């Protein structure tokens, strides 16, 4: 991360967590003061040699928002996510994550592959998410709790090789969430799953996001998935933001409603330059 | 549960069926005069030799001497090979400096060094240890290196993202990932260990199984010669079973080692 700016005025931000869990309705009619920012990208550019992958991305994401980033293959959306997660450094521009009262501003990333350690049992794999944070009994309890959230508490002592693809991805999700990250970056985590498992995983992801209140950034090329999950869809094209569209649909959302179809159409039109 | 145990036992026994049939056929062929006693002694004679040598204590002593040689040579060569494998797998500098040399030396058949080794060490213990260690070194080195280089880079990246220290990364990602390949090296090395020792003891030794076989040849004791060969086969099988046991214990996670 290039810059971590101090914004002490955001110190009350965690109070919002206590708000009753009556489904977040998007768009939030923003009363002043505006919710604090989870992160802010300013003029982010990334070049690999001669190839410009990102070219001046500006994006402010308020805390707790679910943003989906969509684009064609090679549009730079994964690179954007890697920069956000601190895996790559931008060639130009700054990433700002305001430091507030929260003890840590951890970000986690989840990939298309589960990347579980095949030689560690499911429980130990989840505990990897607590490296340097908790150990022993504490780590064991925390990981069992989060495994319960993803519906795999009874599999904690099994090897990853006996799980199905969807279950492995649920373990990876548990590992990413066990330390309660502030930002969760998701790099097409459902891309390799079959259609039914995908929908199941989307619902799980939405439920856990509503419970844990983290900021989620989902990179996907599935327009329906983006509209089903996100508060806001950002379309990236040739390294720039081509569309920034709020998704003002109440949750839980239904697949295939007229409103979803209209929004999906709008995004697809932009993606294929018909907009 | 009991059924599984019986199945495992039955499967283990199945492997011994062919050797048993071969021995019976061999005995029958000897008895009927199909095979002359001067070519191969019948199993009953080999068994008699076995009992004779066991009673005199000669056999136990020679097996002890050979086993000790094999294991010490293995420990020396194996640990150096493992250390180089780790160093070259983990550090590019170390690999750049030493790998070319090691690969050149690897292509010299180590048994070709026997004349030189005899000149250096005579026919003392050092000569055998040196040859066994050298023979064992390469399979362990090559496979450890291969195993470490083959660790999934995506898992390494995952470990780093989750803040693993270098030590944690090594113990929790790199070493377990390299282990299947290291075991391949270990089993190769065990085979080479016996092979090298037999040759070394046959050519230059004053004790051990190979020496026992050569002495017996001098006196045309073909039953003892065959007994030595059979014992080598059994010791080799024993070493391999031990490696398999270790493999089963440490690679439980591997789909290949899980009960179907």
DSSP state of A56: E
Domains of chain B: total: 1
Q: Across-strand partners of A62?
A: A37
Instruction: Give the pLDDT score at B5.
Output: 72
- Given a cut of 90, whether residue A66 has pLDDT beyond it is yes
Distance between A185 CA and the closest CA of chain B, angstroms: 12
Instruction: Give the pLDDT score at A21.
Output: 42
Binned at pLDDT 50, 70 and 90, residue B200 comes out as confident
| Residue A98 and residue B153 in contact, taking contact as beta carbons nearer than 8 Å | no
Contacts of B258 in chain A (CB under 8 A): 159, 161-162
Contacts of A111 in chain B (CB under 8 A): 154, 158
* Alpha carbon A122 to chain centroid, angstroms: 22
Mean of pLDDT over chain A: 84
| Residue A143 and residue A123 in contact, taking contact as beta carbons nearer than 8 Å | yes
Tell me the mean pLDDT in the region A56-81.
91
Q: How far apart are CA A165 and CA A160, in angstroms?
A: 10
Which residues touch B241 (CB under 8 Å, ≥6 apart)?
Answer: none
Whether B18 is in a domain gets the answer no
Q: Which of the pair, A269 or A34, is modelled with greater confidence? A: A269
Instruction: Give the pLDDT score at A31.
Output: 54
Tell me the mean pLDDT in the region A79-96.
90
Whether B35 is in a domain gets the answer no
- Given a cut of 90, whether residue A257 has pLDDT beyond it is no
Mean of pLDDT over chain B: 89
Whether B12 is in a domain gets the answer no
Instruction: Point out the residue among B155, B157, B253 whose CB comes nearest to the CB of A161.
Output: B253
Cross-chain Cβ contact B163/A113 below 8 Å? no
Tell me the mean pLDDT in the region A122-148.
93
- Given a cut of 70, whether residue A10 has pLDDT beyond it is no
Instruction: Give the pLDDT score at A11.
Output: 39
Q: How far apart are CA A93 and CA A58, in angstroms?
A: 9
The model's pTM is: 0.80
pLDDT tens, position by position, A150-185: 999 999 999 999 999 999 999 999 999 999 998 999
Whether B258 is in a domain gets the answer no
Domain containing B231 equals 43-252
Whether B25 is in a domain gets the answer no
Q: The CATH number of the domain where B86 resides is what?
A: 1.10.3720.10
Instruction: Point out the residue among B159, B161, B253 whose CB comes nearest to the CB of A118.
Output: B253
pLDDT tens, position by position, B145-190: 999 999 999 999 999 999 999 999 999 999 999 999 999 999 999 9
Residue A195, burial from CB neighbour count under 10 angstroms (0-12, 13-18, 19+): exposed
In the stretch 70-89 of chain A, residues with CB closer than 8 A to chain B read 85, 87
Cross-chain Cβ contact B161/A128 below 8 Å? no
Q: At what angle do helices B58-90 and B125-149 cross, to 10 degrees?
A: 40
Instruction: Give the pLDDT score at B176.
Output: 95
Instruction: Tell me the DSSP string of chain B.
Output: -HHHHHHHHHHHHHHHHHHHHHHHHHHHHHHTTSS-TTTS--HHHHHHHHHHHHHHTHHHHHHHHHHHHHHHHHHHHHHHHHHHHHHHHH-HHHHHHHHHHHHHHHTS-GGGGHHHHHHHHTTSHHHHHHHHHHHHHHHHHHHHHHHHHTS-HHHHHHHHHTT--HHHHIIIIIHHHHHHHHHHHHHHHHHHHHHHHHHHHHHS-SSSHHHHHHHHHHTT-HHHHHHHHHHHHHHHHHHHHHHHHHHHHH-TTSGGGS--
Tell me the mean pLDDT in the region B237-257.
88
Q: How far apart are CA B249 and CA A151, in angstroms?
A: 30
Q: How far apart are CA A142 and CA B161, in angstroms?
A: 19
Q: How far apart are CA B209 and CA A63, in angstroms?
A: 76
Q: Does B159 touch chain A (CB under 8 A)?
A: yes
The mean-pLDDT minimum among A230-239, B56-65, B197-206 falls in B197-206
Instruction: Give the pLDDT score at A80.
Output: 92
Cross-chain Cβ contact A131/B163 below 8 Å? yes
Instruction: Give the pLDDT score at A210.
Output: 93
**Joined tokens for residue A155:** 């599999």
pLDDT tens, position by position, B84-97: 999 999 999 999 99
In the stretch 191-220 of chain A, residues with CB closer than 8 A to chain B read none
For residues B246, B251, B255, B260, the Cα torsion angle rounded to the nearest 10 degrees is: 50
pLDDT tens, position by position, A210-235: 998 899 999 998 899 999 999 999 99
Give the whole-number percent of chain A exceeding pLDDT 70: 85
Q: Does A145 touch chain B (CB under 8 A)?
A: no
Q: How far apart are CA A172 and CA A184, in angstroms?
A: 12
- Given a cut of 70, whether residue B193 has pLDDT beyond it is yes
Nearest to B130 by CA among B74, B189, B206: B74
Distance between A115 CA and the closest CA of chain B, angstroms: 6
The mean-pLDDT minimum among A19-28, A68-77, B89-98, B200-209 falls in A19-28
Overall size of chain B counted in residues: 260
Instruction: Give the pLDDT score at A5.
Output: 43
Q: How far apart are CA B55 and CA B88, in angstroms?
A: 50
The mean-pLDDT minimum among A106-120, A124-138, B38-52, B130-144 falls in B38-52
Whether B236 is in a domain gets the answer yes
Instruction: Give the pLDDT score at A14.
Output: 39
Instruction: Point out the residue among B155, B176, B252 whose CB comes nearest to the CB of A115.
Output: B155
Whether B217 is in a domain gets the answer yes
Give the whole-number percent of chain B exceeding pLDDT 90: 49
Q: Does B161 touch chain A (CB under 8 A)?
A: yes
Binned at pLDDT 50, 70 and 90, residue B2 comes out as low
Contacts of B253 in chain A (CB under 8 A): 118-121, 159-161
Which residues touch B9 (CB under 8 Å, ≥6 apart)?
Answer: none
- Given a cut of 90, whether residue B40 has pLDDT beyond it is no
Query: Which of B158, B165, B248, B256 should we substitute to test contact with A (largest number of A Cβ atoms within 10 Å)?
Result: B158
Contacts of B255 in chain A (CB under 8 A): 161
Query: Which of B161, B248, B249, B258 should we substitute to test contact with A (largest number of A Cβ atoms within 10 Å)?
Result: B161
Whether B56 is in a domain gets the answer yes
Binned at pLDDT 50, 70 and 90, residue A33 comes out as low
């Amino acid at each position: 991360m290039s810059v971590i700016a101090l914004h002490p005025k955001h110190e009350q931000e965690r109070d919002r967590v206590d708000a009753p869990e009556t489904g977040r309705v998007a768009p939030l009619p923003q009363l002043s003061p505006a919710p604090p920012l989870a992160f802010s990208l300013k003029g982010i550019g990334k070049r690999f040699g001669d190839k410009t992958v990102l070219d001046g991305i500006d994006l402010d994401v308020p805390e707790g928002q679910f943003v989906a980033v969509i684009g064609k293959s090679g549009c730079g959306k994964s690179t954007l996510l890697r920069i956000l997660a601190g895996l790559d450094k931008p060639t130009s521009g700054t990433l700002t994550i305001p430091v507030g009262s929260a003890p840590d501003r951890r970000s986690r990333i989840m990939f298309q592959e589960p990347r579980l350690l095949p030689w560690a049992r499911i429980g130990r794999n989840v505990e990897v998410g607590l490296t340097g944070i908790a150990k022993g009994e504490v780590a064991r309890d925390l990981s069992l709790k989060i495994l319960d959230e993803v519906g795999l508490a009874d599999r904690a002592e099994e090897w990853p090789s006996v799980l199905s693809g969807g279950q492995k991805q649920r373990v990876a999700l548990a590992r990413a969430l066990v330390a309660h990250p502030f930002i969760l970056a998701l790099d097409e985590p459902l891309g390799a799953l079959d259609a039914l498992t995908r929908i199941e995983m989307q619902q799980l992801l939405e439920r856990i996001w509503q419970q844990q209140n983290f900021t989620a950034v989902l990179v996907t090329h599935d327009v329906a998935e983006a509209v089903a999950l996100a508060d806001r869809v950002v379309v990236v094209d040739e390294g720039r933001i081509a569309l920034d569209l709020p998704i003002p649909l109440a949750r839980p959302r239904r697949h295939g409603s007229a409103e979803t179809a209209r929004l999906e159409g709008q995004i697809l039109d932009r993606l294929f330059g018909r907009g | 549960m009991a059924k599984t145990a019986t199945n495992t036992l039955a499967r283990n026994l199945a492997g011994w069926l062919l050797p048993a049939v071969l021995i019976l056929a061999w005995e029958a062929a000897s008895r009927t005069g199909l095979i002359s006693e001067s070519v191969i002694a019948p199993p009953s004679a080999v068994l008699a030799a076995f009992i004779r040598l066991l009673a005199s204590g000669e056999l136990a002593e020679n097996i002890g001497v050979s086993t000790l040689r094999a294991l010490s040579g293995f420990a020396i060569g194996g640990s150096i090979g493992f250390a180089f494998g780790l160093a070259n797998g983990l550090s590019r500098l170390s690999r750049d400096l030493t790998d070319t040399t090691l690969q050149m030396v690897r292509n010299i058949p180590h048994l070709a060094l026997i004349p030189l080794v005899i000149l250096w060490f005579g026919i003392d213990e050092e000569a055998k240890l040196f040859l066994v260690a050298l023979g064992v070194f390469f399979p362990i080195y090559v496979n450890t290196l291969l195993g470490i280089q083959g660790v999934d880079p995506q898992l390494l990246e995952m470990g780093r993202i989750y803040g693993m220290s270098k030590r944690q990364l090594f113990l929790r990602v790199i070493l377990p990932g390299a282990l299947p390949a290291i075991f391949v090296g270990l089993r190769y090395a065990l085979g080479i260990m016996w092979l090298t020792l037999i040759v070394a003891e046959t050519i230059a030794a004053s004790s051990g199984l190979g020496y026992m076989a050569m002495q017996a040849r001098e006196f045309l004791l073909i039953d003892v010669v065959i007994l030595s060969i059979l014992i080598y086969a059994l010791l080799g099988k024993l070493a391999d079973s031990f490696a398999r046991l270790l493999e089963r214990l440490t690679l439980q996670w591997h789909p290949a080692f899980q009960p179907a």
